[in-house]
Structure 1
Amino acid sequence: MSFSAHAPPAHGGRSQREQSRPASQQAATGFFHAAERPFMGDTTAHLAATRLTDLLTAPGTRPAFGVYQIAGFPDVSASASVAEMLVRHGGVDFVAIGVPHLSPVLGSPEMREAHRCALRGGTQMADVMTVVRHLTRHTAAPVVVMTYFAPVVQCGYRRFAAGLADAGAAGAMILDLPLDEAPEWVAAASDVALHTPQLVSRRASDLRLRQVSSMSTGWVHVPAANASNNPQQVDVTALRIFCQRLRAYQHTPPVVTGVGLCCPEQAAAISPYVDGIVIGSPLIRPLLEQSDWRGACAVAKTTLEFSRALPRPLPAPREADALRSDSPAGATCRRRAEAWNALSPRFSQ
């Protein structure tokens, strides 16, 4: 991912710890398309974070349903329009937007290829913010950004948090956040009312679970599978026991799972034990195979299959039919795809 180093921080300076890092890690990113405008994100972020909390803690038996979309895959416009379509017509409650990374350690081989595709297309952090801003302006779904640590270090905690808040995000999860860096990041995010979900390993010690429970806000993210690169085996009993162990700590936020899920049956089996479910790889594969309206229709169909598997209200039948590429109403899906084509050059190919 390429960065430019000319834009000043949008909200406050860097901390002493950030200033003391090597020069190679101090470069500011090409973060905002309009970096000079006044910062206005606190109130918007607070409302978004509140909506996310309400969604994950709502009484009832169903978990919230989220999708993971990598910004810039298959291109920037397509990633925004497909995510919007899934919120509007796929029964999706919240969206996780991924920052493309050269060496992602989580996810399937298809996920890693999608990261590479976004990077080959020149996706920058400013494009990530564009996707977030599009979703928060055109849908009511809370949006959380998922990223690795290096891009956040490069632009600085406060600048990263300010950009997210200004775009209307509800929070950000740094997947490989070092333990000794967590307090500084959490403080910067808290200053602009962002949630800070954290990923916890299924092999974590009791001490680590206690630390994650105390520092996470929004949710704690638990992998559904013990090995993210081998998602075929999701041990439901082991996941249930782990979630019970995690919830035993005071102040544990809602529990969300997703890494390793590959089919609706797995999602249905684990739904009684978590507060939210996020799917990613099952939505990446169709767009790797066909990065046009056919791939978008396949993504929508897969999303609806997961949605149907969860104990939740379904979309109206006419909407579900319209999103099935093999249904009599497939022409409706194609007309919608033609509208997406106007936003996405790659969809027009």
Structure 2
Amino acid sequence: MTSRVAAAIDAAHAEGRGAFIGYLPLGFPDLQTSIDAAVTLADNGADILELGPPYSDPVMDGTVIQEATQAALAGGFRLRDTFTAVRAIADRVDVPVLVMTYWNPVLQYGVDRYADELLAAGGAGLITPDITPDAATEWIAASERTGLDRIFLAAPTSTDERLEMIVGASTGFVYTVSTMGITGERAELDAAARGLVSRLRAHGAEHACVGIGISTPVQVTGVLEYADGAIVGTALVRALRDGGLEELASTARALTSGTAR
């Protein structure tokens, strides 16, 4: 089956640019606004949407995203709202909609049931930050059955053996993450991400997208010198929080201006 996510990245490349992947939490500031926000992102240049159902123990997220997800949970977000939101968004946009989720909620919901409902809602796949391919047999089988993309994370600390496994098990792209650090360390983070992408390519990765706290058009351009896509979260969530849909739209347009190669 053709990966909708890989196709979106290839389409961006055909237009002479890298792909822009925008992350937003579902349910923030409320469910309907989070749906409208995702549509706004797609309308203002995002090639792929990455939506995060709020989770009570978000080990990977920075403060801005954590505060937004806590607000969404306090506002009454339920796991099934994920599928309602994905369906509403997929009905209004042409870009692939990925769900970035911790593994426990999927397990509790039932892996096959989750995959079937995501597919029925028009979702394109899952990004699973806290499960490795060797522990994801059930999900790999469900995604092969449904044609959903499965996107695993690779880190600079990953061994070659593990990178080989991640590349072999991922479809769409490999989510290339560099240890988060303060802004002053950005040059080192960039070097770590650059090195990791080159290792992933050596293991046969066709598409590697980088998320390392990218927050400016210049950083987007820098990452796209060596990666297929740039993933931005915090800067978009902050824009939505501080200035609503209008601020989100202008931030998205600014960031996507950095994708030209």
Interval of TM-score (by shorter of Structure 1 and Structure 2): over 0.9
CA contact 1:86–1:303 (8 Å) conserved in 2: yes
Aligned to 1:302: 251
The root-mean-square deviation of aligned C-alpha atoms, in Å, is: 1.7
AA aligned to 1:297 is E
Q: Summarize the alignment of residues 54-203 of structure 1 with structure 2, pairs less than 5 Å apart.
A: 54-58=7-11, 59-60=13-14, 61-88=16-43, 90-203=44-157
Question: In structure 2, the residue corresponding to 1:125 is in which secondary structure?
Answer: coil
Are residue 287 (structure 1) and residue 236 (structure 2) matched? no
C-alpha change, 1:56 and 1:253, in structure 2 (3 Å) is same
Residue 140 of structure 1, CA deviation: 0.4
AA aligned to 2:244 is G
Q: Structure 2: how far apart are the matches of 1:253 and 1:156?
A: 30
TM-score (norm 1): 0.70
Question: In structure 1, the residue corresponding to 2:113 is in which secondary structure?
Answer: helix
Residue 173 of structure 1, CA deviation: 1.3
Aligned to 1:234: 186
Q: Which has the higher contact order (CA 8 A, sep 6+)?
A: 2
CA contact 2:83–2:121 (8 Å) conserved in 1: yes
CA contact 1:217–1:253 (8 Å) conserved in 2: no
Q: Structure 2: how far apart are the matches of 1:232 and 1:162?
A: 43
Question: In structure 1, the residue corresponding to 2:107 is in which secondary structure?
Answer: helix
CA contact 2:20–2:230 (8 Å) conserved in 1: yes
TM-score (norm 2): 0.92
Aligned to 1:28: none
Q: Summarize the alignment of residues 258-273 of structure 1 with structure 2, pairs less than 5 Å apart.
A: 258-273=211-226
Residue 63 of structure 1, CA deviation: 1.2
Q: Structure 1: how far apart are the matches of 2:206 and 2:77?
A: 32
Question: In structure 2, the residue corresponding to 1:69 is in which secondary structure?
Answer: strand
Are residue 247 (structure 1) and residue 201 (structure 2) matched? yes
Question: In structure 2, the residue corresponding to 1:114 is in which secondary structure?
Answer: helix
When structure 1 is superposed on structure 2, of 295-304 and 111-120 the one drifting more is 295-304
AA aligned to 1:132 is V
AA aligned to 2:138 is E
Q: Structure 2: how far apart are the matches of 1:232 and 1:182?
A: 36
CA contact 1:231–1:261 (8 Å) conserved in 2: no
C-alpha change, 1:232 and 1:106, in structure 2 (3 Å) is farther
Task: Give CA deviations for 1:208-261 in whole Å, capped at 9, x if unaligned.
Answer: 1111011111110012x422x5355333333222211111013x2410112411
Residue 183 of structure 1, CA deviation: 2.0
AA aligned to 1:185 is W
C-alpha change, 1:215 and 1:179, in structure 2 (3 Å) is closer
Residue 185 of structure 1, CA deviation: 1.0
Q: Structure 2: how far apart are the matches of 1:152 and 1:172?
A: 10
Residue 301 of structure 1, CA deviation: 1.3
Residue 179 of structure 1, CA deviation: 4.5
Structure with more of its chain in strand, by fraction: 2
Unaligned segments of structure 2, at least 5 residues: none
CA contact 2:132–2:152 (8 Å) conserved in 1: no
Unaligned segments of structure 1, at least 5 residues: 1-45, 313-349
Q: Structure 2: how far apart are the matches of 1:163 and 1:253?
A: 28
Q: Structure 1: how far apart are the matches of 2:132 and 2:229?
A: 24
Are residue 217 (structure 1) and residue 217 (structure 2) matched? no
